[in-house]
Copies of this chain bind each other. A is one copy, B any other.
Amino acid sequence: MSQFTHLDETGAARMVDVGAKEVTERVAIARAEVHMLPETLRLLREGGHKKGDVIAVARIAGIQGAKKCSDLIPLCHPLMLNSVKVDFEFDEASSAVAITGQCKVSGKTGVEMEALTAVSVAALTLYDMCKAIDRGMQIRNIGLVEKLGGKSGHWQREDGE
């Protein structure tokens, strides 16, 4: 058998059969950073009420993105998310916005891809809204932070990874 679970023994892609897997409570947390010019971050921060919509739009885009995951990632299973949360933190030291996404499901497959899609789409939306003033922005370090549930159990990114 192939070491890639999404390929069969001939190398053909397939949606892995999860029929025999147990339904368990599953949680995944992912993270992304949007690096920008200090001036761009300042504009985002000090906007207060008036600029509130930038973060609100990115948040909604992230939540909607999590729901579109199985439409975007070809071998992902459709699933019924129990919850999605997307949070933003301003990090002046590194001139970046850190985005955290958490997804939960009672299901047969994990929600890592949903959480990763949420933070990726939220980050792309932030880029879209700021690109007229800062085209060189970069999205960095999209990765899984933690996962719970399922056969592989608890996994947590180690420091410095």
Take A74-B125, A124-B120, A142-B138 as given contacts and tell me if A14 and B80 are in contact as well, using a CB distance cutoff of 8 Å.
Answer: no
B80 pairs with A78, CB closer than 8 A: yes
- The main secondary structure of chain A at its interface with chain B is mixed
B residues in contact with A10, CB < 8 Å: 50
User: Of the candidates B11, B14, B80, B133, which one forms a contact with A83 in the assembled complex, judged by CB atoms under 8 Å apart?
Assistant: B14
Residue count of chain A within 8 Å CB distance of chain B: 89
Which chain A residues in 16-75 approach chain B with CB under 8 Å? 16-19, 25, 43, 47-54, 56-57, 59-61, 63-65, 67-68, 70-75
Nearest B-chain residue to A87, judged by Cβ: B12
A43, chain B: closest CB distance, angstroms: 6
